[in-house]
Structure 1
Amino acid sequence: MEVLPRVKIGDYYRMVGDDISTATQRPGRILGLDLLRAVAAWLVLLSHVAFWTGAGAHGTVGGLAVRGELGVAVFFALSAFLLSTPFVRRGLGDRAPWSAGRYLVRRAARILPAYLLALAAVVAVAAALGGAAGSVLDLPTVLVHLVVGQGFTGRTFQSFTQTWSLTTEITFYVLLPVVALLVAPLVRADTPVARARRMLVLCAVVAVGGLCAQAASALVPDPQWAGVIATSAAGHAAWFAIGTAATVLVEAERAGIEVTPRPALAVLRTSPGTLVLLAIVAWVIASTPIAGPRGVEASTPAQALAAEVLYGVVAASLLLAGTSRGLTESLTASPVAGALRWLGNISYAVFLWHVLVLQVVFAALDLRLFAAPFAPTLLLVTIVSVGLGHLSWMLVERPVLDRAHRATVAPTPQPADRG
């Protein structure tokens, strides 16, 4: 993602369904973010394949693969980065019109159509396969999923376990405008620099609060409630705060505001390779026992905190790398520009479908849970999930998003009638 001062980003938000009210002022596309979305989706896919095949329990590669769950942290930070933009611009003193109606319609259009299609397939497969796949197939579970509430109940289909994060995402969507309104008086200052710094301090406070909630969740004796707290918007507040802080840095840069005179930030903004290397180092560290067990065993408070911090470092590094100066220009001029746009478009559907694909592959090939070949399974699940993702984007997501944006486009101001 290119973040030159006056970077053109609006069309990207239109394409992915994120509501940025000034979109028509900055047509363009941040290809670095398309790449980031694709990487995050595949990392989540990688983690589930590693877990189901049993590869995640053994060796260095298995440890890295099973920690692909850190892709969720990238998704959360990216959502915060995109959706907090109008509020950050307002905080910096810029004009950023925002409509609650457009915001809600576009959020629903982005999340629900593809989700409901995948849910229908999950229910159908659970009914067909029976056994463990259909063990929770009842009306209450289906109703909970229809309102995307599985993250609160902890009860979900075997092939839809990853969608707990959608409950957290939607909670963030609802809370973001409310929190932005409440903290607006706290960021007021005489200069844009002071406003930017106050926003960064608030992000740091929220992040610390989220880390405390994550560590505290490991102390809750009831496993269900511990899981609800750990996976909630409060438990992952640090990841959302990282995305918002990145928005502050990017928008300050766009407006010509020098947040700090120290050169370290400027170096990072032009060093995507260094940032990616930092993300890889944090990923390697997270693959060790310091971030908790690789299976379903409960983490200690220290391990939960370490995982949250390390995943956050990966998310922050990749997000800053994706928004490095000059990156989007380089990607746009490269032969892979079209492929990156396509991968960004289908990433959400890949996220939705890949565990169901994994379940069907295991059933069709009669594979044993925790004792299946890792590499062939990974390749097959990736190929089928990408194919289904493409169909979902072309047949469902793109038409709905186009319609939602046409229906909610802000009218162009007209001159007053002089007659």
Structure 2
Amino acid sequence: MQQDRHPRFLARFSRVTTRETFVPEVDGLRFLAVMAVIAFHLAINLASRNPTAFAYPVPGDPLHLALRSGELGVQLFFIVSGLVLALPFARHHLLGERPVSLRAYFLRRLTRLEPPYALVMIGCFLLLVVVHGRSPAALAPHLLASLLYVHDLVYARDSVINNVAWSLEVEIQFYLLVPWLTLLLAIRSPAVRRTVIVAAVVLTSLVGPQLAGVSPHLENTLLRFAQYFLVGFLLADLMVSGQLRRPRSLLWDALALATVPLVVLLHTGTGVATWLPSDTPARWVAAELALPWLFLVVCLAAFRGVVLNAFLRVPLVTTVGGMCYSIYLLHNVLLNNTLFVTKDLAPTGVYGLDLAVQALVMVPFVVAVSAVFFVLVERPCMDRTWPQRLRAWVVARTRVTADVGR
């Protein structure tokens, strides 16, 4: 599952990892997730700005259904997060490697994720105030709630500062519970351990969304999405146990391809009406139960397939996937504030083709701007020693200033 690191040019935009921790398939899955979300928001933003050319096709149109399902890229992100965060705990419990320092674990989350997030949220706040004329007094409480990752809990709606932050609030709730949830991986028997994780996925798929539906303040919380993180736990178990290193097969590619229409139909409620009565909760239950496992098939195919695996290991794909945090934070803000330039670009009059033209213009733009932010802000924060280095620099500058003052 390892590969040589990125070519020299792309290496400037690659994540800071050790050779042992770089798994290209993981960044490849991140690429799929972030591209799906960008497609979803691109279609929505164009439809609101130029409905004559970019109104969604007739409901039921395959392209319409696929675009609506692009938001499920967030669920794929949740699975990848579960996998990545569970891996060191799995290596400890299953391979006997050194235990994970909880202090280092939480400090790493703080130093790695907080600076880019805070900078983007403050930048969005200033953009809304300076460019869009919004009241800073009215926005300030929303900014504070967003910076504390409680906006959805407090206001029962996505952040008005940057709406994509709702999923990062869910991620933070998960991060806080990981050290205790990963005790599942301490179960010695592989059969029992995996059975327990599978049962946990099923239970959270059924009960979690019901509990989250009790109040709009709980709708976008870990209660609603815990099952996807737990699928990541199962993947971590399989990876550490060597199950993902088995010979690749085109069968896995075929299975992954077959899941795509199933995911779309279940997510949009289209097609299942012919299988399940609409006046019962059976349709909802089918979607909640099936979607995590369909995603698991795609993730397994990322490692065990032939075509999908080869694609996800392409250096450009893994590089863009490695920048997904920056891209995710910035993409909708960039689209919201620049599509007025291209919204009338619809040369063919055919929705699908015109949307493809917009994508060819806007996606490289979003990735390019995000790449600059990644290099200047996010990538330096990947260096575990940056707080110590910053402290040393501040101390040195302070001493120089004091010496000059004398």
Report whether the alignment pairs 1:43 with 2:36: yes
Instruction: Assess if the C-alpha contact under 8 Å between 2:201 and 2:230 holds in 1.
Output: yes
Match of residue 404 from structure 2: none
Match of residue 381 from structure 2: 400
Instruction: Assess if the C-alpha contact under 8 Å between 2:83 and 2:235 holds in 1.
Output: yes
Match of residue 319 from structure 1: 299
Report whether the alignment pairs 1:55 with 2:56: yes
Between structure 1 and structure 2, the one with the greater Rg is 2
Match of residue 87 from structure 1: 89
| Deviation of 1:137 (Å) | 4.6
| Deviation of 1:62 (Å) | 1.2
Amino acid of the residue matched to residue 61 of structure 1? Answer: L
Q: 1:361 to 1:305 in 2, by over 3 A?
A: farther
The 5 A counterparts of 1:117-266 are 117-130=119-132, 137-153=138-154, 154-158=156-160, 160-181=162-183, 183=184, 187-188=187-188, 195-217=189-211, 220=214, 222=215, 224-225=216-217, 228=218, 230-253=219-242
> Which consecutive unaligned segments of at least 5 residues does structure 2 have?
48-54, 274-278, 345-350, 390-406
Instruction: Assess if the C-alpha contact under 8 Å between 2:212 and 2:223 holds in 1.
Output: no
Question: How many angstroms apart in 2 are the aligned matches of 1:120 and 1:201?
Answer: 44
For residues 272-302 of structure 1, the C-alpha deviation after alignment (integer angstroms, 9 at most, x for no partner) is 4134213323233235425999xxxxx9955
For residues 92-144 of structure 1, the C-alpha deviation after alignment (integer angstroms, 9 at most, x for no partner) is 2522431112212222233222222221232122224548x779952211100
Instruction: Assess if the C-alpha contact under 8 Å between 1:279 and 1:313 holds in 2.
Output: no
Match of residue 30 from structure 1: 23
Match of residue 396 from structure 2: none
For residues 28-85 of structure 1, the C-alpha deviation after alignment (integer angstroms, 9 at most, x for no partner) is 6322222211110111111122333242763210111111111111111111111111
Match of residue 260 from structure 1: none
The 5 A counterparts of 1:276-315 are 276-286=256-266, 288-290=268-270, 302=282, 304-315=284-295
Question: How many angstroms apart in 2 are the aligned matches of 1:85 and 1:232?
Answer: 23
- Provide the secondary structure at the position in 2 that maps to 1:161: coil
Q: Tell me which moved more, 117-126 or 270-279.
A: 270-279
Report whether the alignment pairs 1:342 with 2:319: yes
Q: TM-score, normalised by structure 2?
A: 0.75
Quote the RMSD (CA, aligned, Å).
3.9
Q: TM-score, normalised by structure 1?
A: 0.73
Instruction: Assess if the C-alpha contact under 8 Å between 2:166 and 2:220 holds in 1.
Output: yes
- Provide the secondary structure at the position in 1 that maps to 2:149: coil
Amino acid of the residue matched to residue 204 of structure 1? Answer: V
Amino acid of the residue matched to residue 138 of structure 1? Answer: L
Amino acid of the residue matched to residue 348 of structure 1? Answer: Y
Query: Among residues 330, 351, 359, which one is paired with 2:328 in the alignment?
Result: 351
Instruction: Assess if the C-alpha contact under 8 Å between 1:151 and 1:165 holds in 2.
Output: no
Amino acid of the residue matched to residue 391 of structure 1? Answer: V
Match of residue 368 from structure 2: 387
What count of residue pairs does the alignment treat as equivalent? 360
Amino acid of the residue matched to residue 127 of structure 2? Answer: V
Question: How many angstroms apart in 1 are the aligned matches of 2:119 and 2:341?
Answer: 22
| Deviation of 1:322 (Å) | 2.2
Q: 1:328 to 1:377 in 2, by over 3 A?
A: closer
Instruction: Assess if the C-alpha contact under 8 Å between 2:212 and 2:220 holds in 1.
Output: no
Instruction: Assess if the C-alpha contact under 8 Å between 1:292 and 1:304 holds in 2.
Output: no
Amino acid of the residue matched to residue 71 of structure 1? Answer: G
Amino acid of the residue matched to residue 324 of structure 2? Answer: S
| Deviation of 1:324 (Å) | 2.4
> Which consecutive unaligned segments of at least 5 residues does structure 1 have?
18-22, 189-194, 257-265, 294-298, 409-419
Question: How many angstroms apart in 1 are the aligned matches of 2:151 and 2:204?
Answer: 21
Instruction: Assess if the C-alpha contact under 8 Å between 2:15 and 2:319 holds in 1.
Output: no
Report % sequence identity: 23
| Deviation of 1:175 (Å) | 0.1
Question: How many angstroms apart in 1 are the aligned matches of 2:318 and 2:248?
Answer: 25
Instruction: Assess if the C-alpha contact under 8 Å between 1:290 and 1:306 holds in 2.
Output: no
